[in-house]
Amino acid sequence: MRVLVTGGAGFIGSHIVDELLREGHEPSVLDVRRPPPHLAEAADVRWHHADIRDPAPLRHALRDVDAVCHQAAMVGLGKDFADAPAYVSVNDHGTALLLAAMADAGVERLVLAGSMVVYGEGRYDCPTHGPVRPGPRGADRLAAGEFEPPCPRCGAPLVPGLVTEDAPTDPRNVYATTKLAQEHLAAAWARATGGRATSLRYHNVYGDRMPRDTPYAGVASFFRSALEAGRAPRVFEDGGQLRDFVHVTDVAAANVAALTSDTVRPEGELRAFNVGSGERRTIGEMARALADAHGGPAPVVTGEYRLGDVRHITASPARAHAALGWTPRVAFAPGMRAFANAELREAG
């Protein structure tokens, strides 16, 4: 299969290119960045050095391809709301331009880099009222160290659970809003063209080639960059936030499985899949595992917080296992040991 990978020079995208090559496919790449060193001389990969929002090279890149794996995006929570125009421009306008060009070129398969952030908070159960959906956490409660969202009906403590793909979406920040908009655009494209669209809702992806020292990277990169610089990882809140940390090679394998499966993407529809390890871990656990494997310094729990962060978000990957035949291979403990000394890339 001939697959255009947008953002294929980046962290996740470059691993997808690796996996496509291993599986005997023909990847090409559209990215504003230069390829990583191990792919720079790859004779069997075509490189289009361009922005996703530049129509001419985008049209050229889509010639003679069978599918698109759309990874190009501005990621992370960012610095403040001043980032909003850039997020919308890259993530949503860029996606709209890509989908329009795909419609013109007759490309009918799309796999989108989705995100678990579209759910907002994860699933919660109240002992009295059953499944409930707590609202955004306010600054007053967070400043007082009250990090757990209470039952919105009775105020009781809640039990976090696993989110399924059918849960209502509730994006809590600009980045999350743009990721959900990408899914809506892809669904509209599929209905209009009869194309097949899949969104892979990534959980907290980590692994080699993560960008270092940037406010747009994930928490794993923040901690790993701090350790490399000899600083203690700074853990926000009390470190008890539940997340699912999934290795980038498993995410790449999920993308190739979605690209090559014909049984899970009915024509004219978008279907979403959670892509996670299935292991629930706290951010504090992750920081300690990295620090131990790196040889210190030990993490510091600061009590700081960021408005827009959610407390717990872990999801069931059962649908991806059943429909895609995909199973993650890298468990938390060995994955963190490897990542503790893995190569990071410079930001940008």
pLDDT at 141: 95
Closest CA to 266 of 149, 109, 105, 106: 109
Q: Annotated active-site positions, please?
A: 175
pLDDT at 262: 78
Which residues share a beta bridge with 178? none
How large is the angle between the packed helices 248-260 and 11-22, nearest 10 degrees?
60
What's the pTM?
Answer: 0.95
Torsion of Cα atoms, 287 then 289 then 295 then 297, to 10° = 20
pLDDT at 215: 67
The HSE-up count of residue 131 (CA atoms within 13 Å, CB side) is: 9
Average pLDDT over residues 338-344: 92
Average pLDDT over residues 212-230: 86
pLDDT 10s digits, 155-181: 999 999 999 999 999 998 899 999 999
pLDDT at 40: 74
Average pLDDT over residues 227-245: 96
The pLDDT of residue 265 is above 60: no
Cα 263 to Cα 203: distance, rounded to the nearest angstrom: 23
The pLDDT of residue 264 is above 60: no
Query: Tokens 């991806």 identify what position?
Result: 320
Q: How far is CA 14 from CA 10, 25, 85, 319, 342, in A?
A: 6, 14, 26, 25, 15
Domain boundaries, the chain: 2-123+161-341
The per-residue pLDDT of the chain, averaged, comes to 93
Query: Tokens 């979406």 identify what position?
Result: 169
pLDDT 10s digits, 112-153: 999 999 999 999 999 999 999 998 899 999 999 999 999 999
Q: Which of these ranges, 18-27, 32-41, 288-297, has the smallest mean pLDDT?
A: 32-41
pLDDT at 347: 67
CATH superfamily membership of 2-123+161-341: NAD(P)-binding Rossmann-like Domain (3.40.50.720)
pLDDT at 37: 81
pLDDT at 190: 96
CB-based burial, 163-190: b 16+ in 10 Å, e otherwise: bebebeebbbbbbbbbbbbbbebbbebb
